[in-house]
Each structure stands twice: as C-alpha cells, then as structure tokens.
Amino acid sequence: MTERNAEEADIVVVGAGAAGAAVSLRLAERGAHVVCLEQGGWVNRDELPKRFADWERRGRRYWHPDPTARRWRTDYPVRSVGDTPVNPWLYMVVGGSTVGFGGVYWRLLPSDFRTHSLDGFGVDWPISYEDLEPYYDQNEKIIGLSGMAGDPTGPDRIEPPLPPVEMGRIGKMWIDAFEKLGWYWWPQDCAISTRDYGQGRGECLGRGFCRFGCPSGALATVDVSYWPQALQAGVDLRINARVRKISVDRTGRRVDSIAYYDGDGMVRELRPKVLVLSCGGVGTPRLLLMSSCAAWPHGLANSSGMVGRNLMLHVHSLVVGRFGAPVDGDHGAWGGSVSSREFYETDTGNGYLRGFTLGARRGLAPMETAMQVVPWGNSHHAEFERRVNREGVVAICGDDEPEVTNGVALDWDKRDQFGLPGATISYALSGNSIALGEAAIARGRELCMAAGAEEVRDTGLAPVSGWHLMGTARMGDDPAASVVNADHQAHDVDNLFLVDGSSMPTGGAVNPTNTIQAMALRAGDRLVARRSEFGI
Amino acid sequence: MEWKGAEPCAMGTAAMGRVFTGQQARAFTDLAEVIIPPGGEWPSAGEVVVLADMEARCEDTFGLRDAVCMVLDSVHQQAMALEAASFGALPPGRRIEVVKQVEAAAPAEFRKLVECIYEFYYSDPGVQRTVEQRTRFRIRAAVDGVSVAQFEDVLFRVAEVGARERRVRRVEEA
C-alpha cells in the first residue's frame, strides 16, 4: 500500500551511521530541516553482548558482523563472490557499523591525498589534508578522542580532548619492542572516552573487546556520540525505514522523490530538495544501482560506470606473538595501544608502492583463540593454556589500491525480506597489496620477536575483513572517472550528494572512520554554503 | 518414540520436535567427549555441552543442520565399518581414528561442528571459572571492567619519541 501524497522535505539523509549522523548534525545545527531514514533500529544497549558472562558466544551469534550470518530483520544479504574471499562486516542500525567497531581513530596523512602524484598509486583526491583538517578537529571534539598530539610522524594538530587509553602490561612490552628496533611509535588515537565525557558517555572501564559494544558508552559509537546531539538539533530520524527506490525528474538531472518502506511495511514517499546518501561503501552503490531508470539505465548517477567499482578494503592481517608468561591479556586497549607509521610511505627499495601501519595491542579472547588455533583432542587443554593470556596482537593495515575490477553489485539471488536485492562483493588482492601485506606481516613478526615472543603466527591476508568499505562512488574532478565532485555532489544529478566511505578515492593505511566523519562534516558545510542553489 | 527414518535431516523434519535421531544424539555426545576430553581441572565437552543447545543452534543457523547431521552420521558409519560397533563403544584410540577420518573427508562440515562445541564449552560458567583459574585471564573483566591503570608512567617515553626528528612526507614535491 502506498501513501497518496508525497511528503516534502528540505534535506533527506539516508543512513544513520558514521557519515549520516555527522552530516545530519551539521545540517540541522545550521538550520536545515533534515529527515534521516535508517533502515534499522536502535541497538538495545541492555542486550549488548558484554552485559553477559557468555559475551563471546553472543558476539558470535546475534551480534555477528556478517549480516548474512546475523540475519537481523532489517539486514540485507551481503556475500563475497570474488577471487579473494571477504568476510562482510557491516551493521544496518542507528550508528551503522560503528556499533561493531574498535574505535581506532587515525587521521590520514597529507600524502594520502596525493598518492598518484607522489607515487603513481591510485588517484589524487580533489581535496587536500588542509581542507579536512578543521573537520578532523571538530569531529574529534564531538566524539571525545583520546590520544596525544606531538607524533613526529603526523602533521601538527590540536591536543585531543582526552588522554590516551590504558596500555596495560602488553602495551609497555610493545613499546620496549619498538624502541629495540628503533621504530617510531605513538599512543593510539581512540574514539574512547578515558574520562566522563557527558551525555551518558562514561569513562572507559577497560572491558576490552570493543567490537561487542560498550555498555558504559565510553566507545564513541555513533548512536551514543552523534545521535543525541543530532536529535537535539532537530533531525527527524525515522528508523526501520528501508529505501527501495530513488526517482529522478524528466531531465534525469534532479532527484524527484524517494520511496521507502516504513516499519509497518507501508510504502512512503518523500520529495526532498536535496538527497544525501550515507549508506556506506556497500549500501550507497547498492541503492544507486537499485535506482536505475530510463535516464540512468546502469544505475543512478553512473554515467562514469564507477558506481560500485574501485572497492578498497585495506590490506589486513593479525600477527600474533606467544609469550612465555601471562601478559595481563584482560587489560589494555583492545583496538590498539601503541601504533607505528614507521613503514607508511613508499620506499623505492621495496617491491611495492605505499605502506602500512602496525597497531600493537592485547591478545585475542579465549573462545576466539580456541577457534583460531587450539586443536581438538587430547592436546586441547594444554594448547589452550599455552596461548590464552600469553598472546599479543600486531594488527597490520595497509594501503589498498583502487581497481575497477573490485566492487559491489546487486545480488538478485539473495534478497531482503521485502524482496529487494542484496549485494555481492567481488574482490581480489592485487599484486601490490599481496607484496605490501607480506612485508607488513614480516615486520609484525619482527616486532613480536623483539617483544620476546617465543612463537609467532599470523592470520594471512585472506579472508579479508570487509569492514573498511571504501571507494565505490569516489570523488574526483573528472566526471568520466568519478561519481561525485569535491563537494560530494553527484556529477550527474544536481541535488544528489553521496557522503560516506564510498566517496574516498584512496584509503590510506589507517582505519577510516575519523576521515569519513570529517568528510561528512565538511560536506554539510559545503551544502549549507550552497543552500540557495537548492531553494533551501 | 524413537525416530525410525533414515534421514531426518535430509527430509528437513525433526522427529518429535528434535533435530537429531537417537543415534545422532548419542554420536554427538560421544563425539564431544573426543573433541574436548577431560583433563586435570577441565571437564570434557561431553559433560558440559547440552544436546538441546546444539539442536537449537541447528534450527536457527542456515545450513548447519545438514552439516552436523552429515558428520554425526559419518561418525556412526565409520565406526560400524571399522569395528561393527557404535562410535561410543569403540576404544579411545579407535574413536580418534574415526574422527580423523571424518574430518579428512568433510573438513568444512566437521569444522562447523567443532566450532559449535567450542562455543558451547567456553560459554559454560564452570568452564569459564576454570579458564580464569588456569590462565589468569578474567572473562568477567569484559562485563565488570578492570581497574584502569594511569597512563602517566609511560609519558616520559612518549616525550622522548616526540622530540625526535619529524618524519612527515611533504606533499609539495608532488
């Protein structure tokens, strides 16, 4: 059943995750009337896995990061079909995938915006680090960044609002190892409040294993950091609102309406003056491809053919050192205690372009350790005791070059409860990514040995964790090679803006949430500056 | 009433509201005992893992039921082929031999079952207490939090790094 009369709106934002929340807040606090459609609901914070002693089991079941395994009512299916298997990692709720993140919160470096000019890698951004810098500052204040200014491997910056997270005994072991090797290191910036930050954002109690949600609200998931402020600013957030189609006018150059299913399954229609898509690196191209029409037969705003292409995931692996004695594995920041950009930039002596970060932290949880490496049978208990609380992890994150062959497409074989298509991820690690990843693993092993590990293992380069979903509707100056311009405005459709990780032309070698939110705040300001063009 | 059909899983219908046949249920309990045997303070998975949990898991996880039933049937069939006896009646060494054969024949399906057994085992409160006693890793720390130490004791080391030569690549060279 469809409502007869479409509702008028100034700005409609689709997606209430990291980017959607940030752009909604910025637009609303500048006076715009914003409706935000989120296909999921609020996370029930009383049911977070870490409220319960069997948190690991709950985390593997209903909190699973793969929507196809988790199967929440509001999810759509996502599956990997490429040469390199990818484990999808995304949440469709208020807060988006931040509800399952670790809060590792880097900035990109100035060189990340110029990788093509500097190294012949990927493409240059149409904006610079300096364009984003004030928005990094603003975002870090909103989310309550913990960390320290002064890292000699990063640009000058203001002091974060909160001091760094606890390192624990393992963190100090990692520092010793970095020093032994002569590698630069620095306390990890985290989206974790190390002091009470107001609005229910309590002090971190060091529970760890942040991806299972944070009962104290110390972890700056967007549902507890941005959304209280956005609602206060007047954003009209509509949950369980599943978008099915975006329609354009006869010219094909303007979004006319957007149709969505509400929580009762009724089709509703909005007619926005401006539409902002913030559904992430999978959700945004999926919605554009679902909205193909006579004017845009290959997907809305897709004259370039770049919608859904150039997917970047980061080169990722865990290098795990096993030590001879307990390391207080239940202490220390989970996402990262001490990190290094020692190998961040291109070294012409390497067999690959660009580089990686090393994030050193506590070990894995007991059940996860057992799943990964403890054999069944008579040696089970001895091997379990040899590993649990005696391991530390070095997480590698490497730059992944955008390639048109890696991407997201509609999956008509797997559909959601309304019959809308799911998404496939087709991805293959490039030769550069493999060479870079192998070098990063070798450095991670070196670090473990320097820390005194008796044995080192790694999780390899695949399956790839599909959590940093970037590049699938990238920004650029050339309409033939990009989907949006430097203001996130679609080249093809005047009142359509794409604001999330899909806009990133390259991904750097760090976790992208800080950058995505800084981009979203900037996009909000750019839109406000041009509001008269859209009759707002 | 015992289920008499040969393949309840393939039929997609559980007998009397259950997922497993009696034979499969016995095989599961005996197999759990081999996957995680008793040792010192550690109970075996056979003592801890509840059959009903496994059946419930099979019912709410797509594809799991067929995989688990296939493994359990294979365990029984291998045991019958080797010793003309049920899996549980085999001597310990022969049980391990059977399980290794089943694992080699269907590694993906076997892995699913093993992961379920690990999941149930390490969620058991008694096992969690043993984990804490034996490893000094406090599982409850993720629920209750820990005493968060002050960071200041490494600040002087951070300051030393901060005083080093800056290494930020200049983009003007582009």
B70 with B9: CB under 8 angstroms? Answer: yes
Phi, psi (degrees; rounded to nearest 5) at A361: -160, -175
Name the residue of chain B whose CA is nearest to A187's CA: B158
Query: Which chain B residue has the Cα nearest residue A216?
Result: B145
Amino acid at A298: H
**Which amino acid is residue B130, in one-letter code?**
T
- Distinct helix (H) and strand (E) counts, chain A: 12, 18
The distance between the two most distant Cα atoms of chain A, rounded to a whole number of Å, is 73
Give the gap in angstroms from C-alpha B170 to the nearest C-alpha of chain A.
Answer: 7
Distance from CA of A312 to the nearest CA of B (A): 23
Among the listed residues A113, A59, A126, A174, the one whose alpha carbon sits nearest the alpha carbon of residue B158: A174
What pLDDT is recorded for position B150? 64
Please give, rounded to a whole number of angstroms, the shortest distance from the CA of A26 to a CA of chain B: 30
Considering only alpha carbons, which residue of chain B is nearest residue A337? Answer: B151
Return the residue of A nearest to B95 by Cα.
A377
- In A294-435, the DSSP E strands lie at 315-322, 338-340, 356-362, 391-398, 407-415, 421-426
Which among A109, A371, A388 is the nearest to B137, CB-wise? A388
Tokens of A445: 């092993």
B170: chain A residues, CB-CB within 8 Å: 110
Residue with tokens 């393949």: B7
3-state secondary structure chain B: CCCCCCCHHHHCCCHHHCCCCHHHHHHHHHHHHHHCCCECCECCHHHHCCHHHHHHHHHHCCCHHHHHHHHHHHHHHHHHHHHCCCHHHCCHHHHHHHHHHHHHHCHHHHHHHHHHHHHHHCCCHHHHHHHHHHHCCCCCHHHHCCCCCCCHHHHHHHHHHHCCCCCCCCCCCC
Query: Which one of A57, A118, A175 has the shortest CB-CB distance to B123?
Result: A57
Q: How far apart are CA B42 and CA B136, in angstroms?
A: 15
Chain B CB contacts of A69 below 8 Å: 61
Whether A113 contacts B171, CB under 8 Å: yes
Residues of B in Cβ contact (< 8 Å) with A329: 137
Whether complex ipTM tops 0.85? yes
Contacts of A60 in chain B (CB under 8 A): 119
What pLDDT sits at residue B13?
39
**For each of chain A's 536 residues, which pLDDT tens digit applies?**
455 578 999 999 999 999 999 999 999 999 999 999 999 999 999 999 999 999 999 999 889 999 988 889 899 999 999 999 999 999 999 999 999 999 999 999 999 999 999 999 999 999 999 999 999 999 999 999 999 999 999 999 999 999 999 888 899 999 999 999 999 999 999 999 999 999 889 999 999 999 999 999 999 999 999 999 999 999 999 999 999 999 999 999 999 999 999 999 999 999 999 999 999 999 999 999 999 999 999 999 999 999 999 999 999 999 999 999 999 888 888 888 899 999 999 998 999 999 999 999 999 999 999 999 999 999 999 999 999 999 999 999 999 999 999 999 999 999 999 999 999 999 999 999 999 999 999 999 999 999 999 999 999 999 999 999 999 999 999 999 999 999 999 999 999 999 999 999 999 999 999 999 999 999 999 999 999 999 99
Q: Which chain B residues have a beta carbon less than 8 Å from that of A212?
A: 142
Q: Could you tell me the CA-to-CA distances from A299 to A13, A282, A302, A499, B93 in Å, in that order?
A: 19, 14, 5, 17, 61
A133 touches chain B (CB under 8 A): no
Residues 6+ apart with CB under 8 A from B62: A71
Nearest-CB residue to B34 (from A113, A194, A377): A377
Residue spans of chain B under pLDDT 50: 1-17
List the single residue in B35, B122, B173 with the smallest CB-CB distance to A366: B122
The model's pLDDT over A357-403, given as tens digits with 9 standing for 90+, comes to: 999 999 999 999 999 999 999 999 999 999 999 999 999 999 999 99
> DSSP of A86-99, one letter per residue?
EEE----STTGGGG
User: What tens digit of pLDDT does each residue of A449-498 get?
Assistant: 999 999 999 999 999 999 999 999 999 999 999 999 999 999 999 999 99
- Residue type at A524 in one-letter notation: G
Strand ranges across the sheet with A391-398: A186-187, A338-340, A356-362, A391-398, A315-322, A455-458
Which residues fall within 8 angstroms of residue A501, CB to CB, at 6 or more apart? A19, A280, A281, A468, A469, A470, A471, A512, A516
Of residues A31, A1, A201, the one with CA closest to residue A103:
A201
How many CB atoms neighbour CB A405 within 10 A? 13
Contact A81, A425 (CB under 8 A): yes
